[in-house]
A = this chain, B = another copy of it.
């Protein structure tokens, strides 16, 4: 794991909301596809910088969440940006496997699609799904 080279005092720019969270947008560093949006608290942001992989705060589980910890679909951070009012972060990442828990590359799909998962299943996702299916059937 390679830490990000970001001085800790630069993180004073980050403005957490009343729940202690900041919005984090995750984008593929190669083709710019927006993969997902999640939230970070101070601990998860510090872990992200320390490890060079994304950590979030799960609002539903109310706990630190290392993306890909169980699936292996980690995100290796290539760059980190902050917006002009400090309440949103943009991470460009190398996505291992797929970002979405539904087995597709991006969590985003056309709003008017009735088959939201049909167009973006990557080869990797298909392989993963087969592997998981194999495990279930085994």
Residues of A within 8 A of B (CB): 5-7, 10-11, 13-14, 23, 25, 27, 31-34, 36-37, 79-85, 88-90, 100-102, 107-112, 116
A-B contacts, 30 listed (Cβ < 8 Å): A6-B111, A6-B112, A10-B111, A10-B112, A13-B111, A14-B111, A23-B37, A25-B25, A25-B37, A27-B32, A27-B34, A31-B32, A34-B90, A36-B83, A37-B88, A80-B110, A80-B111, A81-B108, A81-B109, A81-B110, A82-B110, A82-B111, A83-B107, A83-B109, A84-B102, A84-B107, A85-B107, A88-B107, A88-B108, A90-B108
CB distance from A91 to the nearest CB of B (A): 10
CA–CA, A79 and B119, complex, Å: 15
Quick one: closest B residue to A11, CB to CB? Answer: B111
Contacts of A100 in B (CB 8 A): 84
Contacts of A25 in B (CB 8 A): 25, 34, 37
CB distance from A62 to the nearest CB of B (A): 16
CB distance from A109 to the nearest CB of B (A): 6
